[in-house]
């Protein structure tokens, strides 16, 4: 089991600062290696293009294939880089929080941090940058993000409640049959909508 998975699977109070700092170094090194690879690929693409200037058609076709291959490799590296960068943001924010854990334990935000599911905590900490922030700025930022998460949840709750009320009104006024409502409420329809959305 990778260290990052061990960290991410735990409630915040059980996470060890030493482990998190070790993970930060590992991610930083990986990000740096990928960044160098991306730069190398970009330079190789430029060289291949320059090779093609004034070349015959066959040489240009061969170089085009090589450039396409490098481009694909670069896109995969970039995708990897983005994923690692999200993990790095999560880890650096976690370190900032752990360093202020004693102070935070006396605030309502600590209760939110310790009660949230590890996956949600990760999602919250990827959305912000706490590095270099003062203690008050960090608490304000965390509160804002948690309030946004709650607001998003309440908004979806309100939408589904409104839809339900509308369906009752339509059935009661004869504009909709009960069978249509059954179809609307069916799990298959919801699953299909979810699949279509994804």
pLDDT, tens only, 138-193: 888 887 777 665 455 445 445 666 677 777 778 888 887 877 776 776 544 444 44
Whether the per-residue pLDDT at 6 is higher than 50: the answer is: yes
**Per the structure block, which two tokens stand in for 142?**
């965390």
pLDDT on residue 149: 57
pLDDT, tens only, 93-146: 888 888 888 888 888 888 877 777 777 777 778 877 777 778 888 888 887 777
The residues near 169 (Cβ < 8 Å, ≥ 6 apart) are none
pLDDT on residue 155: 52
State how far the Cα of 32 lies from the Cα of 128, in Å rounded to an integer: 21
pLDDT on residue 4: 63
State how far the Cα of 163 lies from the Cα of 171, in Å rounded to an integer: 12
The mean predicted confidence, pLDDT, of the chain is: 79
- CA 133 from chain center: how many Å? 21
pLDDT, tens only, 30-59: 999 999 999 999 999 999 999 999 989 999
pTM comes to 0.63
Q: 10 pLDDT band (50/70/90 cuts)? A: low
**Per the structure block, which two tokens stand in for 41?**
């690929």
Domain boundaries, the chain: 1-106, 133-198
Sign of the C-alpha dihedral computed for residues 81, 86, 89 and 92 taken in this order: negative
């Amino acid at each position: 089991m990778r260290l990052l998975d061990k960290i991410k699977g735990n409630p915040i109070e059980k996470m060890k600062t030493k482990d998190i700092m070790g993970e930060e170094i590992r991610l930083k090194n990986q990000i740096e290696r990928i960044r160098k690879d991306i730069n190398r690929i970009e330079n190789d693409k430029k060289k291949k293009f320059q090779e093609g200037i004034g070349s015959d058609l066959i040489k240009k076709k061969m170089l085009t294939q090589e450039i396409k291959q490098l481009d694909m490799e670069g896109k995969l590296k970039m995708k990897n880089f983005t994923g690692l960068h999200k993990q790095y943001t999560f880890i650096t924010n976690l370190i900032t929080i752990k360093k202020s854990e004693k102070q935070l334990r006396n605030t309502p935000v600590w209760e939110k941090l310790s009660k949230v599911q590890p996956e949600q905590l990760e999602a919250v900490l990827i959305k912000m940058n706490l590095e270099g922030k003062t203690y008050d700025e960090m608490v304000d930022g965390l509160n804002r993000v948690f309030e946004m998460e709650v607001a998003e949840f309440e908004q979806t709750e309100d939408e589904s409640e409104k839809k339900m009320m509308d369906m009752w009104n339509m059935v009661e006024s004869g504009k909709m049959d009960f069978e249509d409502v059954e179809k609307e409420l069916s799990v298959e329809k919801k699953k299909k909508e979810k699949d279509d959305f994804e």
